[in-house]
Structure formats: structure tokens, C-alpha cells
Structure 1
């Protein structure tokens, strides 16, 4: 990731409504949310929200798709991962002991299911 791209993404998230909108969309992956639902959840007028969503979209952090009469927005988690990796890459300067606490905190709250768990789930459906 280029520095300018990271700055654009971080700048987009450096505003309370945009940060909350991104977090809300990330929590609704992979289905996303319609613009009206986002506005309602954040208690933001739709025209104001539209501006915020445009900033996030220009930064590549969200994507939109028309579904019937609604526009559904989704967080681009791959792009966010690129931004996060840009920030922490080489954070330890060759000393892994410095990054160990950070890496421990980054462990997902919902680890992927093991292969045997996925096979059992597939067999039961």
C-alpha cells in the first residue's frame, strides 16, 4: 500500500460519524446495510450520511451496490486489512518481543473452524 492511500483511508476514518459507519458496516458483513438503515442506526440525516459514505468510498473502505430501490453498502475488509498492515508492518524493528502483545491482541474473537468442525457441520446439513 502506498503512503498516500493509507493517509486517505486514515483521514476518512478520522471523523466520528464515518468511523461509526465503517464499524457498523464491518459488523454487518457480508450482507451489508441499506443507506437508510445506516442513517437510522447512527441517527444521522440521510443527506449528511451520503457525504460521509462518499468519503469512505473514495478511500476504498466501503463499496455500494444497488439492490432494487436501495443502495446497500458493505465494508471492504480486505482494504482495511491493507491499511492495518501498513501501520504495523515492521513495527518491531526486528525485535519480535516488542510486537508480541499487539499480535496477541489481534487474534480474532471468532477463530476459523477447524477442518473437522466444517466437515461435521456439512454432514449435518
Structure 2
């Protein structure tokens, strides 16, 4: 039995339980992302000087990014893309690198297999999808 911890939303869980052969559902597959925490604000007083509100120089930001951010997102997106190719869904999938997700129409069995893919953080129903055939 596959793990369904990545599957989110009562609507999608109901689809997986009640779907018949050939029924598809539009879903969002979110890739794993590194956890992000807000930086602590230095000082106890509110910042009122516009100069102090400016971001640090670009070189400083690049150094911070190199130290803190791991490259898990591109790896996870690649793993999901390989799983979509294996399931024959790569031609229908829409990749969104900005949000780190894919949108695809899949059957219940394909959704279960995608949920077991290591790079998947969450699978949600695509609520923006409109059925044109109706």
C-alpha cells in the first residue's frame, strides 16, 4: 500500500476512494521545498530611517544565499518529472518553476503512485480548473 500523506483535501481523498476506471482529476503536485524562516529583526526599536530599510548589497545577499539555501527544489522537480514520464503524463503536465509545482490530469491509480514519489510534498485538487466539455 502506498503512503497517502502527500494527498491533501477531502475532495481528492473522496475521489481516490470512489473513482471508477478512466476517471481523471486535475491536480497540483507540489515539489519539496526547503523550510524558510523569517530573519530576526535587529534592535528593539522600530526602523524609521529609509536608509536602514534598504536591503543589503547584492554581494552580501549572494553570500547568505550560498550558505543557507539548499538545492532540494530542483532535485524534487526532476524526480516528479521522471515520475510523470514513467506514468505517461509528461506531455499533459504543466510545469510551474516559480511555485515548484506541476498541474496534470491523472487517474486515481496515477495519483497514488505520484504520492509515493520521494520529491512530492503535497498533492491537492486543482480548484481553478474548469471542465470545458460540460
Compute the TM-score of the two structures, normalised by the length of structure 1.
Answer: 0.28
**Greater radius of gyration (CA):** 2
Q: Which has the higher strand share?
A: 2
Higher relative contact order (CA 8 A, sep 6+): 2
Q: Which has the higher helix share?
A: 1
Compute the TM-score of the two structures, normalised by the length of structure 2.
Answer: 0.26
